[in-house]
Every structure is written in structure tokens, then in C-alpha cells.
Structure 1
Amino acid sequence: MNDLWSAVIIGIGATLVMDGWGLVRKQLLGIPPADYGLVGRWLGHMKQGRFRHERIAAASPVPAERLLGWGAHYLIGVVFALLLVAICGAEWLRQPTLLPALAWGIVTVAAPFLLMQPGMGAGIAASRTPRPNAARLQSLITHSAFGLGLYGSALVLNAVKGV
């Protein structure tokens, strides 16, 4: 298996871990998981040139927004994994270490803070939400789970490959 496919698998695995955390968080804390259908709605409106909304939930639905949102979520996870490998080098795939993966997971929180949340009406770093600090903390924890997922997925992939 080449390095590109390894990174793709790791990105999918890390995104699954992130989504798993969302389900655990709901059970433990009563906080619902992210609604990627709304991400699909936001992306779907971009086709008409609309990149920013006051409140994405109030925007008109777009066809297949759930599929679009979930697909984008996993594609972004794969792209983030590819970037980790580009930054750390392919050697990280063969000998993954926790610190780069966890640090990269934390860095990826910049995407929702600076792009998605402002575009969807929540403001920069959730500044327009009812509890911005709580939302920021949850984003940070969720992206840390993604980072742990990068590391864990790389370990599992290596075990399966017999590396």
C-alpha cells in the first residue's frame, strides 16, 4: 500500500474517531453531535455565491445537504491527514508518534474557528454563540480527538500491514 492510500485511510479513521467522540459526548454531557447537514447547506449555497450567513439553520435547504456535508467532513479529514504526512514526512506513517498527530489535530481547529463558524453565522471562534467559551472548548476537544485518531489510525494501519 503506498503512502497516499495510507494517509487516506488514516484520515478516514481519524474522522471516525472524531465522530465517535461526538456520540460519547452526547451520552456523557448531553451535547448533541455536529450537524453536518448544515455544513452541506453552507457549502451548497456557495454555488450561488453565498459564502456567509447570519444563521445557517435559517437558510433555505439545498438538495442532498446531508450527503454533501458528511462527504465534505470526511474529505476534509483525509486532506488534513495528507497535510500531516506532507509536514512530518512519510516516515511518520511507518513510525507514528503521538505529539505531531495531536498537535496537528489541535491546529486543525483553525478551520472551524476562522472559516466555517464565521461563514455559518456563529462568528469567529464561535463568538456569536450563546456560550462562546464552551463552544470553543468543545471544538478544541473534538479536534484533539481527531489528532488522537490520526495517531491511533496510523498504529492500527501499521498493525494490519504487519509493519
Structure 2
Amino acid sequence: MPEALGYLVCAAVVGTGATAVMDLWAVIRKRLLGVPSLDYALVGRWFVNLARGRFRHDPIGASPPVAHERLIGWTAHYLTGIAFAAVLLAFWGIGWVCRPAIGPALVVGMGSVVAPFFLMQPGMGAGIAASRTPRPGVARLHSLVTHGIFGLGLYATGWGASLLLERLQWRGFC
């Protein structure tokens, strides 16, 4: 497999798996703690408006709905997870998938909280690091935990991918 294709496939697999782990955490968090999940329709609405030149909303829920916003939001969510997996592989190399280490996965997972704190939350009307929400400290803690779970998901999915590569005996890959 050409190196560039291997890089893209690994980023897609690891990023999709890690994002799915994060989504599973959201379901568990809602059931155990009663914390509602992020409405990805609003994320889609924000992305569509971003493409139209509008970054900030006050709040995003007051902005008019857009066509296919839920699908766009979920797609953006998973593409973002893939992009962060690509960052992991760019910094630690494609070989990370063959021998995943938890440290780099947690660094990228925890580092990914920068995106919601400084881009998404301000753009959607919640302020920098949820400063305009009713309980900013609680919102920040939930974001940090969720992105830590994403980091664990990067590691777990990397580990699963390494086992699959070994089983398929893709010796040239690793």
C-alpha cells in the first residue's frame, strides 16, 4: 500500500473509531449523569453559516435552521475526529498505528479541546471556553473529560488497528 494511502486509511479508521468512542461516552454520560449531548444539527447550522461568512451567533439556536444541518453536523463531527487522528499520525508517524502509545493519543485528545474552547463555543454564542454558559466550570470539565475520552478512543482504536494489521500480516506496512 502506498504510504500516502496508508496514512489516509489509518487516519480515517483511527479518527472514526475514536469519535465513535466519544459518542458512546456521550450516551453513557446522558444516561448516568443526565447531561444532554451536543445537538449536532446546531453544529451543522454553524458550519453552513461559517461557509456563508458568518462566524458568530448569539446563540446558534436563535439562528434560522438550514437544510440538512443534522447530517452536516454529524459529518463535520466525524471529519474533525479524522483530522485530529491525522494530526496524531503527522506528529508521531504512521508507525504509531503499528505500536500505539497512550501518551501521544492523550496529548492529541486533550489538545483537541482547543477547537471547541476557542472556535466552536465562541462561534455558537457560548463564549470562549463556555464563559457565557450558566455554569462555565461544569461545561469546561465536561469538555475536558470528553476530549480525554476521545484520546483514549484514539489509543484503543490504534490498538485495534495494530492487531488487525498484524492478523492480516501486512508486514510491509509496519
Q: TM > 0.5 between the two?
A: yes
Q: CA–CA distance in 1 between the matches of 2:11 and 2:66?
A: 31
Q: Is 1:105 aligned with 2:105?
A: no
Which residue of structure 1 lines up, in the alignment, with residue 41 of structure 2?
Answer: 37
CA contact (8 A) 2:98 2:165 kept: no
Once the two structures are superposed, the pairs formed by residues 137-156 of structure 1 within 5 Å of their partners are 137-156=141-160
CA contact (8 A) 1:3 1:93 kept: no
Q: Is 1:161 aligned with 2:156?
A: no
Q: CA–CA distance in 2 between the matches of 1:154 and 1:53?
A: 37
Over 6 Å off, 4+ runs: none
Give me the CA root mean square deviation.
1.0
SS class of match (1:53): coil
Deviations 1:72-118 (A, max 9, x none): 00000000000110011122111000111012100000000000000
Which one of 2, 9, 14 corresponds to residue 18 of structure 2? 14
Which residue of structure 2 lines up, in the alignment, with residue 134 of structure 1?
Answer: 138
List runs of 5+ in structure 1 lacking aligned partners. none
CA contact (8 A) 2:100 2:162 kept: no
Q: CA–CA distance in 2 between the matches of 1:55 and 1:115?
A: 14
Q: Is 1:47 aligned with 2:51?
A: yes
Q: CA–CA distance in 2 between the matches of 1:97 and 1:88?
A: 10
SS class of match (1:162): helix
Letter of the structure 2 residue corresponding to residue 19 of structure 1: D
Once the two structures are superposed, the pairs formed by residues 62-81 of structure 1 within 5 Å of their partners are 62-81=66-85
Which residue of structure 1 lines up, in the alignment, with residue 171 of structure 2?
Answer: none
CA contact (8 A) 2:87 2:108 kept: no
SS class of match (2:20): helix
Shift of 1:161: 2.2
Shift of 1:7: 1.7
CA contact (8 A) 1:11 1:78 kept: yes
Q: CA–CA distance in 1 between the matches of 2:22 and 2:51?
A: 28
Percent of aligned positions with the same letter in both sequences?
A: 55
Shift of 1:3: 2.9
SS class of match (1:62): coil
Question: How many equivalent residue pairs?
Answer: 163
Which residue of structure 1 lines up, in the alignment, with residue 8 of structure 2?
Answer: 4
